[in-house]
A = this chain, B = another copy of it.
Amino acid sequence: MYADSTIVVRYAETDQMGIAHHSVYPIWYEVARTDLIKKLGMHYSEMEAMGVMLPLTDMESHYHQAAKYEDELTVRARVEKMSAARIRFSYEVFRKGEETPINTGATAHGFVDSHTFQPINLKKRYPDLYALLSKAMEKDEIR
């Protein structure tokens, strides 16, 4: 399963090279992650309100082609793997309608208690939430 988010490159996101600055891709990944969780039937805000946060532990990003101001992009997010303690998302960024991504990346996160910031076992503590996120691991529907 995956979720597609539409992003239009903002002027403020460009730099003096005339392209979208590399530091905005992680922000677009985050938009796509939010949309993926919403597609599963939950708001990430609700997860935080329940007491679960997903701070990043690792990020990688590979830039194949530049994006420019006003470019319309699709950011596709998937859950790559997941355990009771951790989750890893992967991303592909496409120019609208194209098949070859201009950027690919991944982020890894731990599940932590939003009050203590300590790691939690999501499966034990929030089995319903664990089950919900697990649904994202299902095979992509044939398009």
Contacts and interface: CB of A to CB of B under 8 A. Distances in A.
Nearest to A107: B22
By Cβ-Cβ distance, the 8 closest A-B pairs, closest first, are: A14-B16, A23-B26, A22-B56, A60-B60, A12-B27, A16-B18, A59-B61, A45-B70
> Main SS of the interface on chain A?
mixed
Given A44-B70, A45-B69, A59-B60, 17 more contacts: A8-B34, A10-B30, A10-B34, A11-B21, A11-B30, A12-B15, A12-B21, A14-B16, A17-B55, A17-B114, A22-B59, A23-B26, A23-B27, A34-B70, A44-B69, A58-B60, A60-B60
27 contacts: A8-B31, A10-B31, A11-B15, A11-B30, A11-B34, A11-B44, A12-B23, A12-B26, A14-B15, A15-B16, A16-B16, A16-B18, A16-B19, A16-B48, A16-B69, A17-B53, A17-B114, A19-B55, A23-B27, A34-B70, A43-B70, A44-B69, A58-B60, A58-B62, A58-B63, A59-B59, A59-B61
